[in-house]
């Protein structure tokens, strides 16, 4: 079926198992034990290219994270766990507990800590300078890459008890910033009230700074730089309760909108901020113009400063309404309690403390009847239970029908079979839909029993089409060199021909489901219509036989297309999989910028590319999700079996039988399972890669730990 040696799952001979066991024991006996390492020289085990500031990771053993657990298990230096860039702190805690022979169910009682300290030779123990607790969903390896300890300090990951960490946090009292924070809270309260408050130590705080041009009560700024548009004198330095202001009732963006817009200048511009326009009051709705309107202070003749008026001047084309009445382009004098509508989203209340303190009754009535609009589309919202506006009655949709005469039946079927191209933009299930309409018309409008022959004819046409496409694909594959290389052979070359087979498999599944659901109803209707005697009984029997044969043919087409699909995809995997156990787990070059996880090596990327291409092809052709899941499950089964057979056949000649390479092979398998889980097939991946995962975990276990397990089993 495939190129190269044929692998089977039969157990090897006893002599071969004995020889492999002796070689495995000799390999593991040469592995250094963690127990007898020199604990006083923390840098002695580092490679030439390892970073001495990182004690939990080594560039020479990527994918392996050392978790120190002195406070968890006395006398234990550290335990190694497998980790990737996407591994969360919670997952690493559970794995570390397993390595410390503790139950993973106790993970809530422990935390992973990022500890910075000093470690040196000469018998000096590790001296921690400080630590930070990782959150459950934080990525330790990602944080390690983004943040480095100060020069002269080292960092390591420690597993600590949550109770001890909480006890240390309770004892840690802030004595340096408590006074600063209290003073900041006093200043904030003083700015909100507009009155200075004495500061701690007997001194008085400076006068509160003027309010920003667009400011909220909840975010008062302490900046005291002078705005070029402000007057030179300090008469405008007044509190919120002394200046006219606009109160936001409905906005567009919670991130950019302010609650209060203070109007303490002679002129304010309102609009949307752009590179060429910087208005005083910036609004972010899409229907706000760069310069929407202006608010100008006007002093009537013969009146003092207390009689100043605020005039709203809209720009041409800007939607502006005062008290829900469009103002057009004419200027409007704003009065205390007016409602200002800007566009479809913004509704603001104008308040002038100099005119009156309580809102007028008219303003309160307008607030109760103020229409609310949707933040997304601007449509007016109605109250719950209110009658919806009357809409014109839409014509009821008629069920689709495909009517034809019996003499054009063959021509119509040929046209439907060639109507849609799999690589086109049309819907891929159009043939199945049209064929179902043909069957429905034949069963309800044409001669009794004719739908059975039509159904059989459709099934045979689909079977002939699939056979022709399969024959064409086989002829093309026969001209390829054997065996192909992993670099030249990919699923991309198979996709143009394989999509024709999957196209008809997808349509056959939908057509078969329709026939299984509707055919019994058609047969029941036919039985009621015919008087079951003589020739009519023969007509009913012929229709029943034809429909059953048609369903059998459609099932045959689905199974055959499924077999051809997994056959050709498995050929692509057969070329890529053997190199998976030999490639390095991560790329050797250093990444310049952070990413969610380490990049996949080329050999693993090819395997993932085959899975992804097959999944994309199944989804693009609208193959039923259950059938697509079966295809992927078979591919996972094939991959796990092939790799396990490779381990059993080649044995210690593979580099993964040596402990460091075994750890790397185990890390590669974890990367592959991560991708499978992200694609939504985690359960199938865990099931079909379980035997391979157990084998690689055994190869990734240090010999010292294996010897301890053997001793414990002998004692028992």
- Do 321 and 417 sit in the same domain of this protein? no
Task: Indicate the pLDDT class of residue 468, thresholds 50, 70 and 90.
Answer: very high
What's the CA angle centered on 199, arms 194 and 202, to 5 degrees?
Answer: 130
Report the pLDDT value the prediction gives residue 570, as an integer from 0 to 100: 92
What letters, b where the CB count within 10 A reaches 16 and e where it falls short, cover 142-173? bebbeeebeeeebbbbbbbeeeebeeeeeeee
Cα dihedral angle (43, 46, 49, 53), rounded to 10 degrees?
-50
What distance in Å separates the CA atoms of residue 475 and residue 495, rounded to the nearest whole number? 15
- Do 448 and 316 sit in the same domain of this protein? no
Least confident of 171-185, 219-233, 470-484, 514-528: 219-233
Task: Report the relative pairing of strands 267-271 and 293-298 from DSSP bridges.
Answer: antiparallel
Give the residue, 590 or 406, on which the prediction is more confident.
406
Task: Indicate the pLDDT class of residue 466, thresholds 50, 70 and 90.
Answer: very high
Question: Which residues does residue 245 pair with via DSSP β-bridges, in sequence order?
Answer: 262, 351
- Do 48 and 153 sit in the same domain of this protein? yes
Question: Which residues does residue 342 pair with via DSSP β-bridges, in sequence order?
Answer: 320, 346
- Do 363 and 412 sit in the same domain of this protein? no
What distance in Å separates the CA atoms of residue 97 and residue 512, rounded to the nearest whole number? 52
Mean model confidence pLDDT for the chain: 75
Query: What are the DSSP E strand ranges found in 542-670?
Result: none
Confidence check: pLDDT of 115 > 70: yes
- Do 420 and 364 sit in the same domain of this protein? no
Q: Which of 529, 197, 362 is nearest to 349 (CA)?
A: 362
Percent of the chain with pLDDT over 90: 23
pLDDT by residue (tens digit) across 541-578?
Answer: 888 888 899 999 999 999 999 999 999 999 889 888 88
Give the residue, 590 or 550, on which the prediction is more confident.
550
Q: Residue 662 corresponds to which tokens in the numbers above? A: 């075994």
Report the pLDDT value the prediction gives residue 114, as an integer from 0 to 100: 92
pLDDT by residue (tens digit) across 384-395?
Answer: 555 555 555 556
- Give a yes or no: residue 336 inside a domain: yes
Least confident of 173-177, 283-287, 664-668: 173-177
- Give a yes or no: residue 620 inside a domain: no
Report the pLDDT value the prediction gives residue 86, as an integer from 0 to 100: 85
Any residues with CB less than 8 A from the CB of 115 and at least 6 apart, and which? 68, 128, 130, 131, 155, 156, 157, 158
- Do 48 and 165 sit in the same domain of this protein? yes
What distance in Å separates the CA atoms of residue 706 and residue 27, rounded to the nearest whole number? 12
Any residues with CB less than 8 A from the CB of 175 and at least 6 apart, and which? none
Task: Indicate the pLDDT class of residue 33, thresholds 50, 70 and 90.
Answer: very low
- Do 344 and 469 sit in the same domain of this protein? no
Would you say 614 and 676 are in contact if contact means Cβ atoms under 8 Å apart? Answer: no
- Do 417 and 476 sit in the same domain of this protein? yes
User: Burial, 491: exposed, middle or buried (Cβ in 10 Å; 0-12, 13-18, 19+)?
Assistant: buried
- 470 torsion bin: left (phi>0), alpha (psi -120 to 50), beta (else): alpha
- 109 torsion bin: left (phi>0), alpha (psi -120 to 50), beta (else): alpha
Give the residue, 698 or 213, on which the prediction is more confident.
698
Report the pLDDT value the prediction gives residue 75, as an integer from 0 to 100: 60
Report the pLDDT value the prediction gives residue 471, as an integer from 0 to 100: 92
pLDDT by residue (tens digit) across 620-635?
Answer: 999 999 999 999 999 9
Confidence check: pLDDT of 641 > 70: yes
What distance in Å separates the CA atoms of residue 575 and residue 209, rounded to the nearest whole number? 73
Can you tell me whether residue 89 is helix, strand or coil? helix
Report the pLDDT value the prediction gives residue 183, as an integer from 0 to 100: 58
Confidence check: pLDDT of 46 > 50: no
Report the pLDDT value the prediction gives residue 360, as an integer from 0 to 100: 63
Least confident of 52-61, 465-474, 517-526: 52-61
What distance in Å separates the CA atoms of residue 447 and residue 443, rounded to the nearest whole number? 8
Task: Indicate the pLDDT class of residue 2, thresholds 50, 70 and 90.
Answer: very low
Sign of the torsion formed by the C-alpha atoms of 693, 694, 698 and 701: positive
What distance in Å separates the CA atoms of residue 602 and residue 605, rounded to the nearest whole number? 5
Confidence check: pLDDT of 239 > 70: no
Give the residue, 208 or 13, on which the prediction is more confident.
13
Report the pLDDT value the prediction gives residue 301, as an integer from 0 to 100: 65
- Give a yes or no: residue 437 inside a domain: yes
What distance in Å separates the CA atoms of residue 538 and residue 526, rounded to the nearest whole number? 12
Helix axes 450-478, 409-417, angle to 10 degrees: 40
Question: Which residues does residue 311 pair with via DSSP β-bridges, in sequence order?
Answer: 296, 333
Confidence check: pLDDT of 485 > 80: no
Confidence check: pLDDT of 252 > 90: no
What average pLDDT score do residues 273-295 get? 87
Q: What is the C-alpha end-to-end distance of the chain, expressed in Å?
A: 48
Report the pLDDT value the prediction gives residue 433, as an integer from 0 to 100: 93
Give the residue, 397 or 85, on which the prediction is more confident.
85
What distance in Å separates the CA atoms of residue 543 and residue 504, rounded to the nearest whole number? 25
CATH of the domain at 159: 3.10.20.90
- Give a yes or no: residue 656 inside a domain: no
Q: Which of 542, 564, 586 is the last residue of a domain?
A: 564
Confidence check: pLDDT of 539 > 60: yes
As a 3-state breakdown, the chain gives helix, strand, coil percent values, each rounded to 5, of 45, 10, 40
Confidence check: pLDDT of 413 > 50: yes
Confidence check: pLDDT of 657 > 70: no
- Give a yes or no: residue 452 inside a domain: yes
Report the pLDDT value the prediction gives residue 120, as an integer from 0 to 100: 65
Helix axes 625-650, 602-620, angle to 10 degrees: 160
- Do 411 and 342 sit in the same domain of this protein? no
Report the pLDDT value the prediction gives residue 365, as an integer from 0 to 100: 63
Task: Indicate the pLDDT class of residue 696, thresholds 50, 70 and 90.
Answer: confident
pLDDT by residue (tens digit) across 126-164?
Answer: 888 888 999 888 889 888 888 888 888 899 999 998 888
Residue recorded with tokens 């502006």: 320
Helix axes 703-715, 14-29, angle to 10 degrees: 120
Give the residue, 497 or 36, on which the prediction is more confident.
497
Confidence check: pLDDT of 618 > 90: yes
Confidence check: pLDDT of 495 > 80: yes
Report the pLDDT value the prediction gives residue 35, as an integer from 0 to 100: 37
Task: Indicate the pLDDT class of residue 218, thresholds 50, 70 and 90.
Answer: very low
What domain count does the chain have?
Answer: 3
Residue recorded with tokens 């752009």: 274
- Give a yes or no: residue 86 inside a domain: yes
Element counts in the chain: helices (H) and strands (E): 17, 18
Give the residue, 10 or 58, on which the prediction is more confident.
58
Neighbours of 221 (CB within 10 A): 13
Would you say 455 and 515 are in contact if contact means Cβ atoms under 8 Å apart? Answer: yes
The CA R_g of the chain, rounded to the nearest whole Å, is 38
CATH of the domain at 309: 2.60.200.20
- Give a yes or no: residue 30 inside a domain: no
Q: Which of 348, 372, 396 is the last residue of a domain?
A: 372
Q: Which of 564, 583, 613 is the last residue of a domain?
A: 564
- Give a yes or no: residue 518 inside a domain: yes
Confidence check: pLDDT of 339 > 80: yes
Report the pLDDT value the prediction gives residue 592, as an integer from 0 to 100: 42
What distance in Å separates the CA atoms of residue 87 and residue 677, rounded to the nearest whole number? 13
- Do 150 and 59 sit in the same domain of this protein? yes
- Do 414 and 557 sit in the same domain of this protein? yes
Structural domain of 341: 217-223+238-372
Task: Report the relative pairing of strands 267-271 and 245-250 from DSSP bridges.
Answer: unpaired
Report the pLDDT value the prediction gives residue 563, as an integer from 0 to 100: 94
Confidence check: pLDDT of 590 > 90: no
What average pLDDT score do residues 220-237 get? 40
Report the pLDDT value the prediction gives residue 546, as an integer from 0 to 100: 87
Give the residue, 213 or 683, on which the prediction is more confident.
683
What distance in Å separates the CA atoms of residue 622 and residue 615, rounded to the nearest whole number? 11
Task: Indicate the pLDDT class of residue 658, thresholds 50, 70 and 90.
Answer: low
What average pLDDT score do residues 176-189 get? 54
Task: Indicate the pLDDT class of residue 401, thresholds 50, 70 and 90.
Answer: confident
Report the pLDDT value the prediction gives residue 376, as an integer from 0 to 100: 43
Report the pLDDT value the prediction gives residue 430, as an integer from 0 to 100: 92
pLDDT by residue (tens digit) across 4-21?
Answer: 433 333 444 445 444 444
- Do 414 and 525 sit in the same domain of this protein? yes
What average pLDDT score do residues 21-40 get? 39
């Amino acid at each position: 079926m495939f190129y190269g040696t044929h692998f089977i799952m039969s157990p090897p001979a006893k002599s071969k198992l004995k020889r492999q066991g002796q070689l495995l024991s000799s390999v593991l006996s040469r592995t250094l034990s963690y127990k007898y390492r020199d604990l006083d020289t923390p840098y002695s085990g580092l490679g030439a290219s390892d970073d001495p500031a990182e004690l939990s990771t080594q560039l020479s053993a990527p994918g392996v994270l050392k978790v120190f657990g002195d406070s968890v298990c006395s006398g234990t230096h550290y335990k190694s766990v497998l980790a990737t860039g996407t591994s969360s702190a919670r997952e690493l805690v559970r794995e570390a507990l397993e390595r410390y022979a503790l139950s993973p169910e106790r993970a809530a009682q422990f935390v992973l800590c990022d500890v910075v300290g000093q470690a040196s030779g000469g018998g000096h123990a590790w001296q921690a300078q400080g630590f930070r607790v990782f959150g459950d969903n934080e990525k330790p390896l990602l944080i390690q890459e983004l943040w480095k300890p100060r020069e002269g300090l080292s960092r390591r990951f420690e597993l600590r008890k949550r109770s001890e960490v909480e006890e240390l946090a309770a004892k840690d009292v802030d004595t340096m910033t408590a006074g600063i924070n209290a003073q900041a809270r006093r200043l904030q309260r003083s700015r909100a009230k507009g009155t200075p408050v004495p500061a701690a130590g007997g001194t008085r705080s400076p006068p509160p700074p003027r309010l920003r041009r667009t400011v909220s009560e909840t975010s008062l700024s302490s900046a005291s730089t002078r705005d070029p548009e402000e007057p030179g004198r300090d008469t405008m330095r007044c509190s919120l309760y002394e200046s006219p202001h606009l109160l936001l009732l409905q906005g567009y963006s919670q991130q950019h909108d302010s609650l209060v817009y203070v109007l303490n200048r002679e002129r304010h511009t309102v609009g949307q901020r752009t590179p060429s326009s910087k208005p005083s009051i910036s609004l972010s709705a899409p229907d706000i113009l760069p310069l929407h309107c202006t608010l100008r202070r006007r002093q009537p003749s013969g009146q003092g400063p207390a009689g100043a008026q605020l005039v709203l001047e809209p720009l041409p084309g800007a939607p502006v309404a005062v008290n829900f009445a469009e103002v057009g382009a004419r200027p409007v004098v704003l009065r205390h309690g007016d409602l200002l509508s800007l566009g479809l989203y913004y509704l603001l209340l104008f308040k002038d403390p100099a005119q009156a303190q309580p809102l007028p009754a008219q303003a309160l009535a307008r607030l109760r009847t103020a229409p609310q609009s949707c933040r997304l589309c601007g449509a007016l919202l109605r109250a719950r239970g209110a009658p919806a506006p009357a809409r014109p009655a839409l014509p009821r949709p008629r069920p689709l029908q495909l009517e034809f005469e019996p003499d054009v039946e063959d021509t119509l079927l040929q046209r439907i079979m060639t109507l849609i191209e799999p690589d086109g933009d049309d819907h891929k299930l159009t043939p199945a839909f049209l064929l179902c309409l043909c069957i429905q018309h034949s069963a309800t409008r044409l001669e009794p029993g004719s739908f059975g022959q039509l159904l059989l004819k459709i099934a045979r046409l689909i079977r002939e089409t699939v056979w022709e496409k399969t024959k064409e694909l086989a002829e093309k594959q026969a001209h390829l060199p054997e065996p192909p290389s992993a670099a030249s052979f990919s699923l991309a070359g198979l996709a143009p021909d394989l999509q024709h087979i999957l196209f008809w498999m997808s349509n056959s599944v939908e057509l078969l489901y329709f026939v299984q659901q509707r055919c019994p109803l058609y047969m029941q209707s036919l039985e009621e219509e015919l008087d079951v005697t003589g020739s009519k009984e023969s007509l009913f029997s012929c229709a029943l036989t034809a429909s059953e044969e048609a369903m059998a043919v459609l099932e045959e087409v689905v199974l055959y297309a499924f077999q051809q699909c997994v056959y050709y995809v498995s050929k692509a995997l057969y070329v890529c999989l053997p190199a998976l156990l030999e490639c390095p787990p991560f790329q050797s070059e250093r990444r310049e910028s952070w990413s969610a996880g380490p990049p996949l090596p080329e050999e693993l990327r090819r395997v993932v590319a085959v899975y992804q291409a097959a999944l994309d092809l199944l989804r693009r052709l609208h193959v039923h999700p259950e059938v697509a899941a079966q295809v992927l499950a078979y591919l996972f089964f094939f991959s796990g079996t092939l790799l396990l057979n490779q381990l059993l056949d080649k044995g210690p000649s593979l580099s993964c039988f040596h402990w460091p390479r075994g750890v790397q092979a185990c890390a590669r398998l974890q990367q592959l399972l991560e991708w499978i889980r992200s694609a939504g097939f985690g359960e199938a991946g865990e099931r079909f890669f379980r035997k391979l995962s157990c084998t690689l975990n055994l190869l990734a276990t240090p010999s010292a730990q294996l010897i301890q397990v053997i001793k414990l089993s002998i004692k028992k």
